[in-house]
Amino acid sequence: MSSDQSTPVPNHVALIMDGNGRWAKAQGKKRLQGHEQGVESVQACVKAALAHGVSYLTFYAFSEQNWNRPKLEILGLMSLLEKFIKEVSGRLDEEEIRLIVIGRRQKLPSAIQKELAKLEAKSAKNTKLVVQLALSYGSREEIIDAVKLMADKVAQGTLSSDEIDEETVSQHLYTREVPDPDLLIRTSGEMRLSNFLLWQLSYAELYVTETLWPDFREESFKAALEAFAKRSRRYGKVEED
């Protein structure tokens, strides 16, 4: 499958990256080593997306609920994030990738917030692929923030409650700059959304694989695209003969 074929390719792919801990345990390694291998899978998916003509990728990198993990693991994850930022800094312009960060980023370490803001500004004009990182992200929290923002506008008189429709809500979400996902990939066989893009995934195709995230590489991504291409997307309409 490649971008020059007539096979349908999802415009936006969202990924729930699950199984780092189980992979590490199976390998007799520390959990952080599983997360390190998971970073390699992120890079593999970016490479595959570029090769197959996907325009948007969203990675569920760190959830709002992940702050409840052991402090030592959180420190390790933040260290990995810093390393990732340094590694991709020079590649964004080379590969024409734009970076967007969504979530309650104010909870991240201040140094990381600053570096992410720099990368977002630096890559803002790149158009080949948009990579969206969900960090300190929760979908219910996102919807709450959107409701508060709209309520403030109604109180200020800049928005009427009668004007609020699906598009209005979408434009007040963290993801307002990107289209909704066409395909959701979840690794490790878990069958749940885990508070991820609940509004945006309303009409997405779901693809669940038993593959653990550290083992999910380019061929795995391609398999998900091939499965997507076989789906019939009707959006509630009746398929015509």
Q: What digits encode the pLDDT tens for the residues 41-50?
A: 999 999 999 9
Q: Encode pLDDT of 192-234 as tens digits.
A: 999 999 999 999 999 999 999 999 999 999 999 999 999 987 6
CA distance 81 to 74: 10
The whole-number average pLDDT for the span 178-205 is 97
**In this model, does residue 15 exceed pLDDT 50?**
yes
CA distance 52 to 143: 32
User: What pLDDT, on the 0 to 100 scale, is given for residue 218?
Assistant: 98
CA distance 88 to 99: 10
User: What pLDDT, on the 0 to 100 scale, is given for residue 235?
Assistant: 63
CA distance 80 to 46: 18
Catalytic annotation, pick one of 11, 66, 126, 195 = 66
CA nearest to 63, candidates 223, 197, 160, 232: 197
How many angstroms separate the most distant Cα atoms in the chain?
Answer: 59
More confident residue, 3 or 107: 107
Specify the pTM.
Answer: 0.93
User: What pLDDT, on the 0 to 100 scale, is given for residue 2?
Assistant: 45
The whole-number average pLDDT for the span 100-120 is 97
The whole-number average pLDDT for the span 61-82 is 95
**In this model, does residue 13 exceed pLDDT 60?**
yes
pLDDT band, very low/low/confident/very high, at 4 (cuts 50, 70, 90): very low
68 is catalytic: no
Is the Cβ–Cβ distance between 204 and 181 less than 8 Å? yes
18 is catalytic: yes
CA distance 214 to 19: 7
Which ranges of the chain does DSSP label H, i.e. alpha helix?
20-26, 31-52, 71-89, 91-94, 110-122, 139-156, 166-170, 218-229
Write the DSSP symbol of residue 10.
Answer: -
- CATH entry, 12-138+181-229, from 3.40.50.300, 3.40.640.10, 2.40.110.10, 3.40.1180.10: 3.40.1180.10
Catalytic annotation, pick one of 4, 11, 18, 195 = 18
Residue 34 to residues 22, 28, 81, 132, 225, Cα–Cα distance (Å): 8, 10, 14, 22, 25
Judged by average pLDDT, the poorest of 11-25, 81-95, 165-179 is 81-95
**In this model, does residue 3 exceed pLDDT 50?**
no
Structure tokens at 86: 């340094």
